[in-house]
Amino acid sequence: LNADEAVARGCALQCAILSPAFKVREFSITDLVPYSITLRWKTSFEDGTGECEVFCKNHPAPFSKVITFHKKEPFELEAFYTNLHEVPYPDPRIGSFTIQNVFPQSDGDSSKVKVKVRVNIHGIFSVASASVIEKQNVEGDHSDAPMETETSFKNESKDDVDKMQVDQEEGGHQKCHAEHTPEEEIDHTGTKTKSAPSDKQDRLNQTIKKGKVKSIDLPIQSSLCRQLGQDLLNSYIENEGKMIMQMIMQDKLEKERNDAKNAVEEYVYDFRDKLGTVYEKFITQEDLNKLSTILEDTENWLYEEGEDQPKQIYVDKLQELKKYGQPIQMRYMEHEERPKALNDLGKKIQLVMKVIEAYRNKDERYDHLDPTEVEKVEKYISDAMSWLNSKMNAQNKLSLTQDPVVKVSEIVAKSKELDNFCNPIIYKPKPKVEVAEDKAKANSEHNGPMDGQSGTETKPDTTKDSSQHTKSSGEMEV
């Protein structure tokens, strides 16, 4: 497979793995570091520098490693690609990272500085964090509570060097710890020396010191060759957001400008077409020639000087055209809608007149109406009929090229006024009349039982006390 085919097949396989619609065999996919990465730092040895390959070629990623240094003062780490001939770029440098605020221990020894380096999921190398281990040494025995301790010797061989703790944080691999042996010894004095094994054994027999350990985070100043610093990146992101908002506003203004221009062009084409058809009867020949010339000049202007004008210019041009076109359009609309409005008003007048005529003929449906109110309705209808006839006669005398005497809106308003004035009077409901049976029932309850209902009544004994005669007629013995 060539590079393109490999990428295409890999993408297709990854999509199938992520998709719930496909079932594929379980594959273990590991991202790799394509080029080995080395760290370099300054030392006080003869050659003056130390190097450490932190990520070899094809190392799993994302991955983090922790490197331990013994330093008394701030120091700088330089990251670069190890093999220049493998990198498709003439400059192998990645960047430099300054570990700041490093200080010696209280007894003058070098401090243990732990530096965490990382290659993220995108393959970008960075120094993620740095911390110094501060110890307070006290004499003690092994029975004390366990504390983190580390013994540092001034004279160590190349075999006894700083340890690099490798801690994988991501990538699906198990956590592991490894020791890395640089070519140079890094100690708190910054010197490169060798010592006999007997010296080391003697030192190990000395009193073991224990102390409390405190980790202090250190600031890191990054100077990246081809990567942007975080502050600069944040400023770019902020500026990008502002630019995006500006572009959105520019797009909105441009759309509004194009819409205004298209509105002018559409009005020219639409109105010129209607002048030869539906609007032809509603404009004089003189006005027709004048308006046609204006429309033609506007069309030529759109493709010449008006090709790229501000939005307001197009808005003003459209308003200027409508000053000539709206009267013609209004006459056409009034002519089309006026007959229906007049017909509706005439029907309502005739309906009210029929009600008045039925009232005069003593129709029982309207015998409850107040004569005074009926006279008001009759007078109002007479005035409405006169208004309608006068407007119709005046309108019939005008030509179609003249503005109407009465507008459709006025006729509709007159029709609503008629409904509001006449309908509450002529459609007033009749008052309710009580039923005769209800009256008879009420009388029987008040006067006693009706005739024929006392046949079973027993005549009371005359020897009884006269007070019994005071009983009400409703108390009977059956």
Q: Could you report the per-residue pLDDT of 167-222, keeping only the tens digit for each?
A: 444 433 333 333 333 333 333 333 333 333 445 444 444 444 455 788 899 999 98
Residue 82 and residue 87: Cα distance in Å, rounded?
A: 9
Strands 37-42 and 209-217: unpaired
Q: What percent of the chain has pLDDT over 70?
A: 73
**What is the average per-residue pLDDT within 114-139?**
86
* Residues 6+ away with beta carbon under 8 Å from 10: none
Residue 72 reports pLDDT greater than 80: yes
Q: Which CATH number fits domain 32-227: 3.20.20.80, 2.60.34.10, 3.20.20.70, 3.40.30.110?
A: 2.60.34.10
pLDDT range class, residue 466, cuts 50, 70, 90: very low
Residue with more model confidence, 47 or 316: 316
- What pLDDT, on a 0 to 100 scale, did the predictor assign at position 136? 64
Q: What percent of the chain has pLDDT over 90?
A: 52
Tokens matching residue 43: 């030392």
- The ranges assigned to domains in the chain are 32-227, 245-444
- What pLDDT, on a 0 to 100 scale, did the predictor assign at position 179? 35
Work out the number of other CB atoms within 10 angstroms of the CB of residue 239.
10
Write b or e for each residue in 82-96: b if 16 or more Cβ atoms lie within 10 A of its Cβ, otherwise e: beeeeeeeeebebbb
- What pLDDT, on a 0 to 100 scale, did the predictor assign at position 444? 60
**What is the average per-residue pLDDT within 109-135?**
91
Collapsed DSSP state (helix, strand, coil) of residue 69: strand
Residue with more model confidence, 159 or 58: 58
How would DSSP label each residue in 333-356? HHHHHHHHHHHHHHHHHHHHHHHH
Lowest mean pLDDT among 3-12, 127-136, 387-396: 127-136
245-444 under CATH 1.20.1270.10, yes or no: yes
- CA-based nearest residue to 346, from 405, 388, 283, 390: 388
pLDDT tens for 130-153 read 999 887 655 544 433 333 333 333
Work out the number of other CB atoms within 10 angstroms of the CB of residue 444.
11
pLDDT tens for 396-454 read 999 999 999 999 999 999 999 999 999 999 888 888 766 555 555 655 655 555 444 44
Residue with more model confidence, 365 or 166: 365
pLDDT range class, residue 255, cuts 50, 70, 90: very high
In 271-415 the beta strands, taken as DSSP E runs, fall at none
- What pLDDT, on a 0 to 100 scale, did the predictor assign at position 474? 40
How would DSSP label each residue in 233-285? HHHHHHHHHHHHHHHHHHHHHHHHHHHHHHHHHHHHHHHHHHHTTTTGGGS-H
- What pLDDT, on a 0 to 100 scale, did the predictor assign at position 290? 93
Calculate the CA 431 to chain-centre distance: 62
pLDDT tens for 322-332 read 999 999 999 99
Lowest mean pLDDT among 71-80, 116-125, 146-155, 308-317: 146-155
Residue with more model confidence, 176 or 376: 376
Residue with more model confidence, 208 or 256: 256
pLDDT tens for 265-279 read 999 999 999 998 999
Residue 65 reports pLDDT greater than 80: yes
Mean of per-residue pLDDT scores for the chain: 79
Lowest mean pLDDT among 38-47, 177-186, 284-293: 177-186
Q: Identify the top-confidence range among 26-35, 60-69, 155-164.
A: 60-69
Domains 32-227 and 245-444 share a fold: no
Residue with more model confidence, 153 or 227: 227
3-class SS shares of the chain: helix, strand, coil, % to 5: 45, 15, 40
CB 317 within 8 A of CB 298: yes
- CA-based nearest residue to 114, from 128, 97, 132: 132
- What pLDDT, on a 0 to 100 scale, did the predictor assign at position 437? 55
- What pLDDT, on a 0 to 100 scale, did the predictor assign at position 157? 34
